[in-house]
Structure 1
Amino acid sequence: MVVVAHPDDAEIAAGGTIARLSSSGVRVVTAVLSLPESGAQGERRTRYTERAAETLGYELRWPTRGENRQVADIGEIALVATVDRLIAEVAPRAVLTHWSGDGHADHRLTARAAAAATRTCRVDLYGMRPGETRTPAFSRFAPQVFVDITAHSAAKRRALEPFAAARPGFRPLDLAAVEAADRFHGSLSGTDRAESFVVERAHGLGGLLAAG
């Protein structure tokens, strides 16, 4: 299961991993906790996320859609309860979420909620790389797990392309930066392109690519 703060977070940091898992028959559920935009722009972002789910092969959940524009609006106790319910419903072997040291406040809140929600169950927990590459947080990220996504990089790009469109009040997604990060982590792991993760909690359940 993947738990993220916003639309496109999962695709940026783990889109290739999701595609690799789903193409091998693993069920992947992705929960998006907030939708920062409203009105027509929010509807477009929702459609983009639904298309990305089809492209990458994951089941999409919006546990608070229409209620919260920022993860901080949910409140920490309610946020943990939301992730608790998702884990009870999906029964995952692993949860991928934001890294606890991410520079984005909503991402850190999501990471803390996932850590709290998995505290009493045998679920491996992985932190994804920061989505913003030109930040101190990205330079501090020290992954222990690399997933070769070379064969799935085209699907990842297709899923992300709609998110690269300009939108008022927000920086457009930089696809070149995302792909540069994939190539960088590929170079660290002996592949053309890779996504990387920090192991936040492990129970010896077979590793990330055995997750179900």
Structure 2
Amino acid sequence: MKNLTRREMLATATATAIALGAPQAEAQSNQPKLKIVVCGGHPGDPEYGCGGTVARLTSLGHEVVLLYLNNGGWPPTSPTERIAEAKKACEILKARPLYADQENGHAIVDNAHYESYAKLLNAEKPDLVFTQWPIDNHRDHRALTMLTYDAWKNSNQSFALYYYEVSNGEDTLQFSPTHYIDITDQEAMKRAACYAHASQTPDRYYKLQDDVAAFRGIEGGYKRAEAFILQLRSPNDPLRLLMRP
């Protein structure tokens, strides 16, 4: 009998749990532990867009890395201050920060940066990757998504790829979700992680993102939810195990 890879085990466990109608808690506890990378244009983007989902995943024992395209430094706020804020946010979410070392507001998408970004991302050997939706008013967000998509495509679509939204209407546009994740119980932890970015006027931006979470909650049947889009031709759909059976 052939030895299954972790991704094959994940696909089998997911399909079996869904097909047999296994209880959600049992399905989650029995699945293999995953390596997840959440990609964001700046420190704060992953926390605002899917901090609740990250909190759920780490609480289940999965390993999560927040990969920031740049360190977020922008005068008068120094890179050192932004990195310290991101470190605090990651500690709250029980995630690990990682940086692609581009410059805030000056994202570059070319062959050299495709290659360096893919090397950084693939070195993590992710089972599941979240990235920002490509139709977005911020240039850094669009650049991040192109880099992430290219890394996924050239890895032979080796990991499940999902898109998330931030500040819908101000940044993200034309977002039609395929998945809704209940973050009602994780809202306080998400709020704390977002407020860790104290230099980024969280009173304004958290309210905007929480309005999105409340609206997605209405759509998905929860008090608060985060929404995602699964990239076609992803090898599996592990996020389904966090959804209502």
Bin for the TM-score computed over the shorter chain? 0.7 to 0.9
- Matched with 1:43 is 80
Gaps of 5+ in 1: none
Paired residue secondary structure (1:61): strand
Output the CA distance in 1 between the equivalents of 2:59 and 2:124.
19
Taking structure 1 as reference, are residues 90 and 136 closer, same or farther at Cα in structure 2, changes over 3 Å only? Answer: closer
TM-score (normalised: structure 1): 0.85
Taking structure 1 as reference, are residues 78 and 173 closer, same or farther at Cα in structure 2, changes over 3 Å only? Answer: farther
Write the mapping of 1:22-61 to structure 2, written as runs, cut at 5 A. 22-37=58-73, 41-61=78-98
- Matched with 2:170 is 135
Q: Which amino acid aligns with 2:229?
A: V
Work out whether 1:179 is the aligned partner of 2:179. Answer: no
Write the mapping of 1:153-164 to structure 2, written as runs, cut at 5 A. 153-164=187-198
Output the CA distance in 1 between the equivalents of 2:241 and 2:220.
19
Taking structure 1 as reference, are residues 80 and 71 closer, same or farther at Cα in structure 2, changes over 3 Å only? Answer: farther
Q: Which amino acid aligns with 1:31?
A: L
Q: Which amino acid aligns with 1:30?
A: L
Using the aligned pairs only, state the percent identity: 27
Paired residue secondary structure (2:176): coil
TM-score (normalised: structure 2): 0.75
Q: CA deviation at 1:173?
A: 4.5
Aligned residues: 203
Q: Which amino acid aligns with 1:190?
A: G
- Matched with 1:96 is 130
Taking structure 1 as reference, are residues 93 and 209 closer, same or farther at Cα in structure 2, changes over 3 Å only? Answer: farther
Compare CA radii of gyration and give the structure with the larger one. Answer: 2
Output the CA distance in 2 between the equivalents of 1:163 and 1:42.
12
Taking structure 1 as reference, are residues 100 and 166 closer, same or farther at Cα in structure 2, changes over 3 Å only? Answer: closer
Output the CA distance in 1 between the equivalents of 2:171 and 2:44.
21
Q: Which whole-Å deviations, capped at 9, do the CAs of 1:13-34 have from their partners, x for residues lacking one?
A: 0100111101100111111111
- Matched with 1:197 is 228
- Matched with 2:119 is 85
Q: CA deviation at 1:42?
A: 2.3
Q: Which whole-Å deviations, capped at 9, do the CAs of 1:166-211 have from their partners, x for residues lacking one?
A: 67xxx97522111111111011000111101111234342422669
Paired residue secondary structure (2:167): coil
